[in-house]
Amino acid sequence: MHTAKRAPLLALLLIEAVAPALAADAGAGHVPADWPHVHEDHQNFGYLLVDRLEYRDDEGPNHLLWDAQGWYGGDYRRLWLKTEGEQAISDSHGEAEVQALYGRLVAPYWDAQVGVRYDRAYGSGPDRDRAFGVLGVQGTAPYRFETEAALFVSEDGDVSLRAEFEYELLLTQRLVLQPRVEINAAAQRARSWGVGSGINDVQIGLRLRYEIRREFAPYVGVEWTRKLGDTADIARDEGEEVSVPALVAGLRLWF
């Protein structure tokens, strides 16, 4: 009976003796030595995705095409680098685009991006280049549609728009069907670049890839490009096709 009465008193004395030490440790931010290391939430990471590295067999000269992007940063702020272009297999004609962007998280799964873009076209004639300012968004829309949309303003004041949408349909754990749509539009005509005012073109693609590993996946597919409106008229004047189907085969890589 006396032992039972002493137990609460002993517990109270023990708490009073230990509490100041615990409070001192908490106030000083001390962590016990045997606790696991605590990672800070503002670490920087890097990511590189080669979404398309492919050979294209179409009605004109066959091409090697690339489309890649990467970023470095944390969860809220990132530096982005994007590049895409194509090189003819049979000659030296080609074109390339590079973007350098600053991105900031503005909503779950969505980054706002601002930066610059540089285009270069080369071949048998004089090389041509132009620069743009870029304002865009990138993220995952409902139902897991990967979305990129950007507004471009060239050094000459020309305004253009681009929107890209991709979706991944898992047929099996390794077999993935990927539809892709890209739409380009411009407010002004830039004839030297084959661009008219209005909606310039629509690209619709369907690729089937096999993920040998998640980071390494060969694929085959088809893509159809249709130039529209004023851009189609410019293409006809230059003797170019306005509707071009293509068979594609390539690799998708990420690191």
Domain locations in the chain?
45-254
In the prediction, which pLDDT does 229 show?
96
Q: Which CATH superfamily is domain 45-254 in?
A: monomeric porin ompg (2.40.160.40)
pLDDT at 1: 46
3-state SS string over the chain?
Answer: CHHHHHHHHHHHHHHHHHHHHHHHHHHHCCCCCCCCCCCCCCCCEEEEEEEEEEEEEECCCCEEEEEEEEEEECCCEEEEEEEEEEEECCCCCEEEEEEEEEEEEEECCEEEEEEEEEEEEECCCCCEEEEEEEEEEEEEEHHHEEEEEEEEEECCCCEEEEEEEECCEECCCCEEEEEEEEEEEECCCEHHHCECCEEEEEEEEEEEEECCECCEEEEEEEEEEEECHHHHHHHHHCCCCCEEEEEEEEEEEEC
Print pLDDT tens along the chain (255 aa): 454 455 455 554 555 554 555 445 444 445 566 666 655 567 899 999 999 999 999 877 899 999 999 999 999 999 999 999 999 998 889 999 999 999 999 999 999 999 999 999 998 788 999 999 999 999 999 999 999 999 999 999 999 999 999 999 999 999 999 999 999 999 999 998 999 999 999 999 999 999 999 999 999 999 999 999 999 999 999 999 999 999 999 999 999
Whole-number pLDDT of residue 41: 63
- pTM, rounded to two decimals: 0.82
Q: What pLDDT score does 30 carry? A: 54
